[in-house]
Structure formats: C-alpha cells, structure tokens
Amino acid sequence: MTARIGVVTFPGSLDDRDTQRAIRVAGAEPVALWHKDKDLKQVDAVVLCGGFSYGDYLRAGAIARFSPVMDTVIDQAKAGLPVLGICNGFQILTEAHLLPGGMLGNDHLHFICRDQKLRVENADTAWTTDYTAGQEIHIPLKNMDGRYVADRRTLDELEAEGRVAFRYMVRGEAADGYGNPNGSLNDIAGITNAAGNVVGLMPHPEHAVESLIGTGRTDGLPFFTSILKKLVTA
Amino acid sequence: MSKTPSRLPPPPDTEALRAAPSRLDTVEHAAATPDVELPWAELGLKKDEYERVVEILGRRPTGAELAMYSVMWSEHCSYKSSKVHLRQFGEKAPESEALLVGIGENAGVVDVGQGYAVTFKVESHNHPSYVEPYQGAATGVGGIVRDIIAMGARPVAVVDPLRFGAADHPDTKRVLPGVVAGIGGYGNCLGLPNIGGEVVFDACYQGNPLVNAGAIGVMRHEDIHLAKASGAGNKVILYGARTGGDGIGGASILASETFTDTSAADAAGAKPSKRPAVQVGDPFQEKLLIECTLEAFAEKLVVGIQDLGAAGLSCATSELASNGSGGMRVTLDDVPLRDSTLSPEEILMSESQERMCAVVEPEKVDRFLEICDKWDVIATVIGEVTDGDRLEIYWHGGKIVDVDPRTVAHDGPVYERPYARPSWQDELQADDANKLARPETSEELKGQVLKLVGSPNQASKQWITQQYDHFVQGNTVLAQPEDSGMIRIDEASGLGVAIATDGNGRYAKLDPYTGAQLALAEAYRNVATTGAKPLAVSDCLNFGSPEDPAVMWQFAEAVRGLADGCQQLGTPVTGGNVSLYNQTGEAAIHPTPVVAVLGVIDDVARRTPVAFQEDGQLLYLLGDTREEFGGSAWSQVVHDHLGGLPPKVDLERERLLGEVLISASRDGMIDSAHDLSDGGLVQAVVESALLGEKGARLVVPDGLDAFTFLFSESAGRAVVAVPRSEELRFNDMCGARGLPATRIGVVDGDTIEVQGEFTLPLAELREAHEGTIPALLA
C-alpha cells in the first residue's frame, strides 16, 4: 500500500505538477485537489505548492487562504492531517494561522532564484524524519516575498520549542548557496507547528528530487519519503 | 507587483477620431459623406496608403475601418518594408521533414519525434521597453507566450536576448533593472522557466534597447491549432481580460516610428505622450488564460484561435476571417470593457493584454464558457462566422465596418525601399583590428585577460539571471549560463529540446551578411555543444529606420545571409519578427539579427554541460584558430575599437563540428564542452573553470602565439574536456571525420595557468567576472 498525497491547485499555482511528480518519485500517489472543492478526496496528507495564487495581489497567500478547500485543510490540519506548505503554500499557511508569523518582500527588493544552503534544525516533524538534525542541504529557492517575520515573543517561542525546522546557512561563499537570501529574521527558512504535522518553508524541495533536473541535487526528496514512511507505517 | 493605473488617458490621435463625426460613422454614413476629412496621417498612414484604402472600399472608410487599416498596415503588423526580403526564407528553405508549420502562423512548429511537436518563436518589444521598461518587457513575455498557446501548445520555457546602452550610462540603470524585473515579474508569475538569452551592452543601444523575448511550447502532433475562422455559424468568443484604453496604437505609433527626441534622459519623464501606447500586463490573468485554453484544447472545443497582441481586435478578427473559409460578423457592443467610455475605434485598436479569440462550434460553446468560468476567466460570444467573405462589425445597431478581411490582414502595402551600401562601409572594413597594438609582455597579457572577463559584456550575468525562475515545471536540464537551455519533454524516454539565441551587432555592423551567418552559426553551435541536434530557426531582426537606404542595405544583406545560411545548414526559418525604426534621430543601432536555433536530444541524460567535471580530464580545442580580431570583444575592451572584418564563416565546418559534438555526447566521450565565440578561448575556459570550480593548465599549441590562442574569435570552434579513458576513441573520431582537434591542456587545480605566460587564481578571476554587474547595477 502506498500513501495518497493531495496537491492543491489555486488559480496562479505554479508548482502543482512538479509537486505531484516529486510525490510520484518518492513512491507515493499524488492526488490533484481543486481550490473551489472542499472535498479532500480522503488523502493522507496535503501539500500547498508554490506559485502566485491570485497573482499575490493584496498580499501573498491572503486571498487563497479564503478558498473553500482551505476550510477543510484548516479543520483537518488541526486534527492532525500532515500539511506541507512550500513557498506560496507557506505564505498561505501563515495567512490561515496554521503557522505563526508572516512573509514580507525580500530585503533587496528583487526576485531571487538560487540553490540555497540550509541546515535542518528539526528532524522530528512529519515531513523531516528522513533528515538528521544538523544536516546541511541544498534546496532551490525562488521568491519575491520570502522574508520571514514574527514578533519577538513568537520568535522566542519558536526557538525555545525547536520549531524552527530549517535555517538559511549564512557563513560561506555566496556561490555555494550560503547567505540569508531575503532578510528573514533568525535566518528562518521554515517552521513547524507544535504538533509537527504542519510544516512550511520558502525553499522548494519538489525541485530537488531528480539528479538530472534543476540543480542536479536530490536533497529535497526526504520531505516526500519522510511523509510516505510515516503514513505507510502508521 | 508594480501597480499601474488601468485607465490611461487616450493619446491625442484618437481624440481626433472621436471628434471627427458627430454621429455614428456607419458604412452608410461614410458612403453618403465622401468629403469628411479623416485623421489618417495622425494614425500613421501615408497619403498614398489612405488613397488605396479608399480605392479598395470604393468610398471613404468609416472611422472604425480607418482605425483597422492604420494599425494593420503599420510596419509592425504588415512588414511592408521587409516583406520583399523575407520571402527568401521561404524560397531558400531547405527540405526539412521536421517542419510541420512554417512562416505565417503565430509561431512555427517542428516535429521532434515520439509524436511530439515543438513550437517556438522570438519577438521584439523594443520600443515599449524604452518608454516604460517594466511593463514593456513584461508584456513582451506575455505576447510571445500567447503566440505559443495559440498554436495549441503548453508553454514550457522562455528566453530573453537583451541589449542595452553602455553599462555605465546612467539611463542603463533606469532601463535594465526595469526590464529585468518586468521579465521576471511576468515570466516567474506564469510558471515558465527562463532558460537562456543574452545580455549585451553597447552605446549604440542607448536610446534603443533591444528587448527580445522567445518562448517554446510543446504539444502532441494532433493538438496543433491554427488561426482561422471556418464553418458558417461557428461562434467567435473573446475571452480573457476586459478591453481597456491601454496600448491604443502601440503597433502603429510606438513600434513603427523613430524616436525623434535625441536626449535619452528625456525618455523617462518628458515623453508622456507615448506612455499610453505601452500596454499594462497582468500575468495572473495570463496564467489563467493558459490553463483554461489548454483545457479547452484537450476537450477539442476549438476550431480556430488567435491571440490578441499588436493591433488587438483589428488583427484577431481580420486574420481569423481572412485565413478561414467564410466571413465574420462581430457585435462590438458585446466586448467586455474596462472603461465604458471607449469609442468603437479605440476598442478595435486597444492592445489590452491577456485576451484571446476562439472560434467554437455552437454546440460546444456552453462547455467552452464553462471551462472559462472554472478558471474565473471572462468569456463572451462577440460574433460568428458567416457564409460571405466580408468582415462586418456592428456598434449600437449600425454597421461600422464592412471590408474584405484579406485587404486588412494580408494585402497591405509592400515597399521596395531603396537600399545602398553605406559610403562608410569600406572605410570601416579597412580599419583593420588585426593591426591594433597587442600585449607585449606576459604581465600585459594577463592584465588583458582579467580586464576582458570582467568587462560588462563578458562578465557573469548571474545578478540578472537569478531574478528569473529556472526551476519551475521541474524539467529544466540546462539553463543559462549553459551554452543552450534544455528542457525535458518526456519523462519516460528523456526526450528533450534545446534552444540558444545569439546575435552580435558588432560583427553585423562590419558585414551584415557575414554577421547574420555568424549569429546563426553560434546559435547552431551552442545547441550542438550541449549534445542536441539543431532542427530549425526563428529570428528577431532588429534594425534602424527602413527609410534610410544604408539601414535597408544592412537589412537586405542580413536577411540574404541568414537565408543562405539556413539553406546550407538545413535548418528552416519557421517564423520570427522584424523590428525596424530602432534609431534615435540619425543614429541607428548596429544591425542586430538575433537568431534562435532549436534542437532535439533523444535523452537529456546525455547532455553536455559547460562546467569542468573532473581534475585530470584533457582539454581539446576543436576547429581552426586564425588571427581574427575584427569586431572582437578584445578589440572593444582593450582598444574601444570597431573595424575590419568579422571572423570568416564556414558553415560546412560548423555542421561537422556539430556532428562531432553530438556524437561525442551520445557516446559518452566528453564530459564538458563550451563553444568559442566573443572573448575567444580564454573566456570559454574561464567560464568552464568558474562553473566547475576547477582550474586548468593550458599549453599554447605549435603554430600559434599566446595572444591569438587566447583572444581570437575564429568561428567553428569549441573546447571539450575528454576523460583520459576516452582520448583514443575521441581522437580517432575527429581524425576520421576530418575535424582538427588539438590537445591544449588539462583540467587541474584552482588556477588558470597558461604555460610560460601567467597563472591566475580562480578566486581572482571570479572576483573580476562576477563582481562587475552587481557593482554597476545593484
């Protein structure tokens, strides 16, 4: 048996088909979900993929958060459904208050696309068990509004509870993907909720699952094998 | 996203139109009032052109008809100055089994095997990008992508050949960041990986930056769609954005005239009069348009389709009608408007973006509208295909257009513009670059290498390309700074396509015929270097004013060169674009034919990257190196010189080199390869070294001096890295095929060492190569 993982398409979603492919590469079954449809088709987990839902108009993720499908995603996430938000998906998760904080425009005011060096800080979430804590990985990053911000108390809480899941690695050559690419506070690239079932990050693991494609690295695959293992052995 | 007001004040010329007749100017009214003066000159028509319109109609045109003719007969839409030369692309087209759809449709289509067809095209958005860099460049991407969708294909990648004024000119800092942000802002939001292109700086582009945009789309053979309206009773559906007042007269006024003011700084602030002719883009709307159109195609709901680009509804209705079997009747009142005060003339001329027009059988209309509704796309039936052969357009119950659509779309004026070899051409060619002072010491040679790789044209463009998404869609095998961009199109078999765009205005200025062939040769070589087989060509021909005989000569020569070259290489021209009037006052840009070559690779796992892969691999120089410095990067960087003759072209050699590179890739004989072009061998080796983070030791081959070895720009060459285990086999292959292959060194260490001359640490080279552009523009 394998796991069925849903990928939501909002108007303006871009990486839906890529995410479905990554799920397939990991050995799970991708299920296409439509934003106007509240039905999650009994999937075992959901990915909110990258893109510019509703053109990022108003604020990235702010409109998509009100799509009918999100009512169900929010309810079920609170009940333990594993949810991964990638880039625009992360933005939607913060707008939906499933994850704390929010995203502002990159501090350098440009879109940035690069192979980013990250450190895995929390390898105990539903989406990260195939990593080890402290592992250093390269994951492609591409965004306009990627600067993670939160108030001091929230940041302290995230740090204290080990809920910073991924951090940008800043000490090293820019050519090798080091550096905080957008001005995120505490170099935060991704976070998890307290229960560890909802994870959001700005970099794109679905773009790093095949050795021939993109950067040629496969450091993103463990996201999808982690969840598959969890679901299949559960 | 930058926000621009959606309602822009109408330019003065259309106000003239509004004012002209006090009552609705119907066909009947026009016939009854032959003496009414119409503002044909303000709309860009010449006197004899207007007289021809009157002759065709047998009466004066209505205001709406005049609007249609004026935009469709503009240089931009009618190719009236270039047509007589462009015919050669058809007449000299080589036999090609790969060509499925040729010149004349929205974009050419090529068979790439396994039932797949690929469509690709390059277009210009030069003038708008100077006036309003962000929106000009953004809508350039939008337009080319709609051309691709209109063929029935899913767009899979974009490329952007860009040319700007001097890198350190203050206006470049206005234009370039805006253009790059516009391309990124639009393309990134559409989910199209940006995989290639060029960025070139030259003072000649100061007031006339070249913003060319290319796109590739993939479909199955049976999914090819064409722009034609057939079958009486079929419905004409306009879908996408509402029509607004933006971009009115963009094709006729902006793209078909020379900028008259010579002060570049004026363009930003002091030329508001042309600003409303630039369209405003909404990439989110276009993304919806892509998905909804592809869904309609998948359900076979579409008989014919046309995107609305230059000349808007005037173009879409007249082209659909004239390519089909019948006529067309359109009710303009049904066009959804962003601004209810628009006149019918303005609606016909508006170039509002993100709109398409589909012809759908009546029983499939409901389903088509349903799909549009699913994607929140506005769709409206605005007319139908008729039995006759007339295009009739109604407004408020009156018939305001009644024309033979062919006369609008296809029978525009054709000019045999006078052309003559410029008087200065001989003098320019006599100013031989080979006689320029060369470095006399090793130290000087080393200094010039650093200066070259750090010069704006030769420097890394990463600061620019990292503002584009290369990864989206998950099929990008290679992207810039690789020699060509490569996209996987079939996951199971690994089938892929590659595209490279090249152009060198400096070469073309010295000799337009040779310059065009060098652009073709370079793009062809770049595709082959990555392991793909070149199949077909698209071009974007950027020139000055056709009314200048010297410019017209450059154009005629370049087209002749390109047509001859394509014939010889067996790669047909499938379509393209001509951009004229790229000049400010008397000063035209360098003639700049940009050539895109599309190639196919059976298995992308065999692709050859630029980066050095492993220490110890042997470096081979393929081809012949001569003392050729005319138009070279070295002559520009070190001497600020342009003169002499460009490098010689040998297309048979290019073909042979291509075959060797493709075989070597297929049989695993090389691990990296890089074409040699501007900047010569040293530029190529430095790029391969920096990308692979591995140095090289080079030995100057017998019969060459170090300077010529490093800086010559002889065409038909590449550097390859051969694993030692493959050396014998590789040498045998080159020997058997008669391609000169010279061992020049080895991949090794963290320096570039030219034996007996100098050693440069990679760190120093990296600083020079990667620091330049951010220092100028960030």
Q: Is the CB of residue A58 less than 8 Å away from at least one CB of chain B?
A: no
| A206 is known as an active-site residue | yes
| B125 is known as an active-site residue | yes
Instruction: Please tell me which residue of chain A has the smallest CA distance to B190.
Output: A14
Among A17, A109, A111, pick the best mutation site for testing chain B contact (most B Cβ within 10 A). A111
What is the ipTM score, two decimals? 0.95
Beta strands in chain A (DSSP E): 4-9, 29-34, 45-48, 83-86, 102-104, 112-120, 136-143, 147-149, 164-168, 188-192, 198-201
Please state, in angstroms and rounded to a whole number, the distance separating the CA atoms of residues B154 and B215.
10
Half-sphere exposure of B545 (CA within 13 A, CB side): 12
Query: Is A11 in contact with B284 (Cβ distance < 8 A)?
Result: yes
- Which residue matches tokens 């207007």? B50
- Binned at pLDDT 50, 70 and 90, residue A172 comes out as confident
Min Cα–Cα distance to chain B from A213, Å: 5
Query: Is B471 in contact with A51 (Cβ distance < 8 A)?
Result: no
| Residue B273, amino acid | S
Query: Is A140 in contact with B471 (Cβ distance < 8 A)?
Result: yes
Q: Is the CB of residue B429 less than 8 Å away from at least one CB of chain A?
A: no
User: How high is the pLDDT of residue B310?
Assistant: 83
Q: Is the CB of residue A113 less than 8 Å away from at least one CB of chain B?
A: yes
Please name the member of A21, A51, A55 whose beta carbon is closest to the beta carbon of B191: A51
Nearest CA-CA partner of B365 in B382, B340, B390, B346 = B382
Q: Is the CB of residue B356 less than 8 Å away from at least one CB of chain A?
A: no
- Beta-carbon contacts below 8 Å between A and B: 96
User: How high is the pLDDT of residue B258?
Assistant: 57
What six digits make up the tokens of B264?
A: 């570049």
Is the omega angle on the peptide bond into residue B34 within 30 degrees of 0, that is, cis?
A: no
Residues 138-197 of A with CB under 8 A from B: 140, 142, 144, 175
How do strand A4-9 and strand A45-48 relate by DSSP bridges?
Answer: parallel
| A204 is known as an active-site residue | yes
Q: Which residues pair with B212 in a beta bridge?
A: B124
pLDDT along chain B (778 residues), means of 10: 34 47 82 90 91 95 93 89 92 87 82 95 92 93 93 95 96 96 95 96 96 96 85 94 81 56 35 57 94 95 91 90 90 94 90 93 97 97 94 95 93 93 97 96 98 98 96 96 97 97 98 98 98 97 96 97 97 93 92 98 97 98 98 98 98 98 97 98 98 97 97 98 97 97 98 97 97 92
pTM of the model: 0.93
Nearest CA-CA partner of B766 in B694, B712, B663, B671 = B694
Helix (H) / strand (E) element for B380: namely strand B379-386
Instruction: Please tell me which residue of chain A has the smallest CA distance to B465.
Output: A113
What six digits make up the tokens of B602?
A: 């059976």
Residues 266-295 of B with CB under 8 A from A: 282-285, 287-288
**Of A35, A87, A95, A138, which one is the catalytic site residue?**
A87
Q: Are A165 and A191 in contact (CB under 8 A)?
A: yes
Which whole-number Å values give the CA distances from B78 to A197, B108, B357, B410, B565, in the listed order? 60, 18, 20, 7, 25
Please state, in angstroms and rounded to a whole number, the distance separating the CA atoms of residues B167 and B189.
28
Beta strands in B631-725 (DSSP E): 672-675, 696-698, 718-722
Q: Are B578 and B110 in contact (CB under 8 A)?
A: no
Tell me which CATH code domain A4-233 carries. 3.40.50.880
Instruction: Please tell me which residue of chain A has the smallest CA distance to B286.
Output: A12
Nearest CA-CA partner of B765 in B749, B746, B751 = B751
Q: Are A127 and A120 in contact (CB under 8 A)?
A: no
Instruction: Please tell me which residue of chain B has the smallest CA distance to A108.
Output: B778
Query: Is B474 in contact with A57 (Cβ distance < 8 A)?
Result: no
User: How high is the pLDDT of residue B271?
Assistant: 35
Nearest CA-CA partner of B744 in B710, B714, B769 = B710
Instruction: Please tell me which residue of chain A has the smallest CA distance to B185.
Output: A111
Min Cα–Cα distance to chain A from B309, Å: 21
Please state, in angstroms and rounded to a whole number, the distance separating the CA atoms of residues A209 and A140.
11
Q: Is the CB of residue A212 less than 8 Å away from at least one CB of chain B?
A: yes
* CB contacts, 8 Å: B184 with chain A: 110-111
What six digits make up the tokens of B329?
A: 């009747």
